[in-house]
Chain A
Amino acid sequence: MTGEVLAQTRDTERERQAGLRERIACCSVAGCLSAGGGEVRAALEKAVNARGLDGQVEVIGTGCLGLCSQGPLVSSAATRQVYAGVTPEDSAALLDGGAGRFQGRTLGPDHPFYAGQRRLILENSGRVDPERIQDYIAQGGYRALLRAASAMSPAEIVAEVKRSGLRGRGGAGYPAGLKWELVARHPASDRYVVCNADEGDPGAFMNRSVLEGDPHRVLEGMAIAGRAVGARQGYIYARGESPLAIARIRTAIAQAQREGLLGGRIFDSDFQFQIDLRIGAGAYVCGEETALLASIEGRRGQPVPRPPYPPERGLWGCPTLINNVETFANIPAIVERGGAWLAAIGAPASPGTKVFALAGRVARAGLVEVPVGTSLRTIVMDIGGGVPAGCEFKAAQTGGPAGGCIPAAFLDLPMDYDTLPGIGSMMGSGGLIVMDTSTCMVDVARFFMEFCMDESCGKCVPCRAGTVQMHGILRRLTRGEAAASDMSMLEELSRLLKETSLCGLGLAAPNPVLSTLRHFRNEYEAHLAGRCPAGRCSIPVPEPV
């Protein structure tokens, strides 16, 4: 493909879409599909056909519309409204304009759920069908790759990413530009670009939704990265548990190859880049970068000590750039609109937006995208609509099993990479689980420790054996069987794991324990005394003597 063909494809598709009277987009990512979104789409297509509206009304699938807890969601291009809880029986009303039918389940752009959001990564939701490359091109897709391949030098691309101040969205928040520069400057001849799509935190579905909803955005980001660091080969490491995301990536790669947007001589330049998919077999630790690389190489998915870090020695010993899905999804916008544009959004030290998977005890659960530095209150209370009636907000867990809880006292703290560690939590990759007063924090700590225990690879002793012992203590606490000495051992083990584990999994495994101890120590003490304040744990009542 050449720049001219790209522009032509874009204009043709735009004209075609402009000629339509209505374009109805049915959310086609896993949440809405499991709520019956597939049937809604089929009914709509049938109704369009029955009315003879082919060519005037188009029904497409699209990326995540956000309000996953009230799916299936359908958006209308003509009315610019999103309808929630749509059933196949609603299709007639959607086509014939029976707006009254959707009273109470219509969300306009000014609805509190959308008004507080700033959608960049998810900007194509409602506009782009993830299975049609023309849709993505019509929204300006692959123009950034054209610019990167024909009008910018690799060093200029790296400089632009550095200027944006973008920090890696995998959780640690390492400046993306610095990482790119390390790989680009390495003298080795072979380099690789790897997209970490092994999103395994309980309750987190940001990356899966992005891949299911807008796969070309990630491919384009990776190809730009390949151009910037001098790699010819990229890999997407996706979870085997996300079959829909895998199918969409496969489709997108095949389309991009057919259009010449991946492969040799991209946009008639000397730049060549290929992307292959690698599928994980269900190990959480394979999200750790060295274990991920081992898995791609076909070895046992176990971490190896760093340094050397992957930008120096990665895949097959070559310098390797590893970023997560959301980081790559930011890249086309940075190249297209400039690093300074992104730097102006969000918090000064953590620019851009962050996608959160808002879940748990919240009225409106789903995928939300806000500027980094937005307060937890805005996300949970305004966008999420607060906890359902009858209970009160107690805490929110960020960062999954590696993160910590944020109690109500810190609702107004900005959510960014530098503030959250100060209160024993972390930004994480975007999982955000809201807990209300019916939640027992000791039980929450036990749940996450059980997760880490099951997912420990078993290589280093502190993580393999330490998580087992910590889980044992937490289980005894929730059963009212713990002794006071268990508490000091719990803290001793937490220190051991935090200071001596081999990889991030073990180093972070004590975080949920430490943060609940910090903010809810009284609950631990109550359990020691044989009482669960939330009434969650079934502690046997002692027999009267």
Chain B
Amino acid sequence: MSVRTLEVDGRTITALEGQTVFSAAWDSGIRIPRLCHLGGLSEAGACRLCLVEIEGQKKLQPACLTKVAEDMVVNTATPALLAHRRLIVELLLAERNHVCAVCVLNGACELQDLAAQLGVDHVRLRPQYPSLPVDLSHERFGLDHNRCILCTRCVRVCDEVEGAHTWDVAGRGRNSRIISDLGEPWGDSGSCTSCGKCVQVCPTGALFSKGRTVAEMRKDRGFLRYIMTAREKKLWIS
């Protein structure tokens, strides 16, 4: 496989042909923010946080979907991009109920971390606070729609890795909701294998393990890479 050389934030980096700008930058220690991307899953291109400026292109491009090219010049953290990212995080925080102080994932939440990293210390938008239910029908897990940012990592991991496709999105726009099967309670789902992958990939406290109280939940982000690597190397086939 051939190698491409490109410039990211003034640094010359090398990447494999076919690699995305996001993963090439990540490999070189340049952490582009993201919420919908997760290594091992297909790309949604939905959170718009990883948008970068590429010289010679008028429109901002999602780093998670843009392939590297020779001599490409990429800027990942211009003032304009940072302003956009802050406003996107503010939009997410205002969209539903994200009160960290009463969340199981307080201290280990990707949305919280990103807000801190981007310096979002207050939200200038009107909070929407829609009245959303919490589904506690599953034996081991819970789903709190108030914390959901609709990144669809759960939908993709369930479909692409577990192969169950329990989760999907219903409704549109601000009425979009993650649903299990055809909208029945999670605990009644016939397709759910209770594997818990969705819980581990969820960036916020929307999907959580029962029995954890405020700030007690921690997610195992490494497990997906472990599974994907093991599959690739066929470690389960003797």
Of the candidate stretches A13-21, A499-507, A510-518, the one touching chain B is A499-507
Of the candidate stretches A52-60, A419-427, A462-470, the one touching chain B is A462-470
B172 pairs with A469, CB closer than 8 A: no
Chain B residues near A499 (CB-CB < 8 A):
51, 59-60, 84
Q: Most B CB atoms within 10 A — which of A285, A461, A467?
A: A461
Known: A465-B92, A467-B173. A305 touches B84 (CB 8 A): no
B142 at the interface (CB under 8 A from A): no
Chain A residues near B45 (CB-CB < 8 A):
304-305, 460, 502
C-alpha spacing A404/B187, complex, angstroms: 49
A395 to chain B, nearest CB (A): 28
Chain A residues near B172 (CB-CB < 8 A):
283, 285, 455-458
A178 at the interface (CB under 8 A from B): no
Chain B residues near A472 (CB-CB < 8 A):
126
B152 to chain A, nearest CB (A): 8
B174 at the interface (CB under 8 A from A): yes
Q: Pick from B46, B60, B87, B173: contact of A454, CB below 8 A.
A: B173
Q: Pick from B44, B46, B128, B171: contact of A468, CB below 8 A.
A: B128
C-alpha spacing A183/B92, complex, angstroms: 39
Q: Pick from B44, B65, B128: contact of A459, CB below 8 A.
A: B44
Chain A residues near B128 (CB-CB < 8 A):
468
Chain B residues near A304 (CB-CB < 8 A):
45
Contacts between chains A and B (CB distance < 8 A), count: 87
Chain B 40-56, CB within 8 Å of chain A: the 1/0 string?
00001111100100000
A481 to chain B, nearest CB (A): 11
Q: Pick from B47, B59, B94, B173: contact of A456, CB below 8 A.
A: B173
Seen from chain A, the residues whose Cβ lies within 8 Å of a Cβ on chain B are 283, 285, 300, 304-305, 453-462, 464-469, 472, 485, 489, 492-493, 496, 499-502
B79 to chain A, nearest CB (A): 13
Closest residue on chain B to residue A476 by CB atoms = B126
B84 pairs with A453, CB closer than 8 A: no
Q: Pick from A458, A485, A493, A501: contact of B87, CB below 8 A.
A: A493
Chain B residues near A468 (CB-CB < 8 A):
95, 128, 173-174
B88 pairs with A489, CB closer than 8 A: no
A496 pairs with B46, CB closer than 8 A: no
Q: Most B CB atoms within 10 A — which of A485, A501, A502?
A: A502
A405 to chain B, nearest CB (A): 24
Q: Pick from A285, A456, A469, A502: contact of B91, CB below 8 A.
A: A469
Q: A456-B174, A464-B176, A499-B84 are in contact. List 8 more A-B contacts (CB 8 A).
A: A456-B172, A457-B173, A458-B150, A458-B173, A465-B94, A466-B91, A469-B126, A499-B60
B125 at the interface (CB under 8 A from A): yes
B175 at the interface (CB under 8 A from A): yes
A462 to chain B, nearest CB (A): 6
A455 pairs with B46, CB closer than 8 A: no
10 CB-based A-B contacts, threshold 8 Å: A283-B172, A456-B173, A458-B175, A459-B150, A462-B88, A464-B176, A465-B92, A465-B95, A465-B174, A493-B87
B60 pairs with A500, CB closer than 8 A: yes
C-alpha spacing A454/B176, complex, angstroms: 11
Chain A residues near B234 (CB-CB < 8 A):
none
